[in-house]
Structure 1
Amino acid sequence: MTKNTGTQGRTEQQKQNPSALDNFLPLIVDVAVPLGSYYLLKDGFGMSTFAALGWSSVVPALRTLWGLVRERKVNGLAGLILLVNVVSLMLTFVSGDPRLMLAKDGAVSSTVGIGILLSVRMGRPMMTAGLKPFLVKADAAKEAAWTRLVSGASARSAAFLRKERAYSVVWGLALLAECGARVVGAYTVPADTMVWLGTVFVVGAIGIGMLVGGGLAIAPMEKMLKAETEADPSHGEAEENSSLAGSTHR
């Protein structure tokens, strides 16, 4: 009986080195799908705010239920999104104030921001899911160096972990600031202006997250990861063996 070791090997490698899409998938399902479906149903299909909120709550509701049934724990981010949608449904039902509707859209940003900050508090910074593939770049030596750094086995671990947490904190605070700006704008700026200004706030928050997070955390983490990789004895041996193999072939 022949075993398909090639397929098994690829599957095992995918588990050990997940792609950027694999890392971002939970965030996409829990946040992007509910948010995207809300705007698609509301603006694309002309549904009422109440109906769009209701239908966009289906995915986070199912994710929360699935977590309770299968893993016996609440999916934190999906639960937060669901809670925001439920509260928004209640507000929509009891009030027809357009300014309240504009302010309510900031609830999504604040939910994601709070979720990111809570993940830092729990020792599992959410933004690391997208940061790791960007820094490691599917390099086995860098992967091993990353593991040592985050496990506390390296002298650089404490500094590395501080920068890892700082990156998520920057994004969490940027999104909370975007929410605050949206709420203030909803009650001080004309509603027609606020419709497009809200998008400017979102883009601004993303820009701040990228610029500040990049300078404060990504650049130092890259340097520490490079230093840790070069300090690994096996890394030097691998390069030497590679050079010897090359000279033998010549």
Structure 2
Amino acid sequence: MAILITSPGLVTTGTEGADEILFGSSVAANGSVVNALAGNDTITLTAAGATISSVGGPSINGMGGADVISVSGLPDFSAGVAALNGGAGGDTITVSNASGGVAVNGGDGNDLINVLSGSVESLNVGGGSDTVNIATGSVVSAVTLGAGADYFSAFGDVAGNLVAGGGADTITLASFSKSGAILNADSSANGGGADSISVGILGANADIKGKGGSDTISVTTIGSGA
């Protein structure tokens, strides 16, 4: 079923089938809620990036099915981030040209999450064996990997704490820059797994914890106090 959202602040509920949900304008995204329900849904939002509402960004909930959620051009909302929640199923979530006001939650299932450009506030991949690619974008606040064997690659910057979670994770970071940030692969806290961690530039006073499991950690350039 095709659904077009044209006004802000609406709650839109999909069907149990495969829906195509489209925001008609950037204004329509302000404060809107989408509950796509079951089915392999496609949800698309292309925002102009100029209009910011005091009620904050949209909440997009894929819920069941293998959903495709694509957003681009989102501003840094003044009252609450845009929440992209994949839900159950193997979802594909793509963010491009965002200004930071986006929180991504993959949910259960083997998800594919791409941040192509711009920045997101936080990223939580959820359960399943997920693949995350940060191209020229960045993560401002925090990354949390789930219980599965996740693959996380960032050519952009991760400027906050990263929790590896359980499973044998593969983590490749071009830059883990924030002073005092912690990359935590401590199995006593997060479920273990033989993690492979590679960092190009480790920021000043940043820390990597690889306790428990047969972890492999490599760092190319180490900042002062790291």
Which structure shows the higher strand fraction?
A: 2
Bin for the TM-score computed over the shorter chain: under 0.3
Given the two structures, how large is their TM-score scaled by the length of structure 2?
0.19
Rg larger in 1 or in 2? Answer: 1
Of structures 1 and 2, the one scoring higher in RCO (CA 8 A, sep 6+) is 1
Given the two structures, how large is their TM-score scaled by the length of structure 1?
0.18
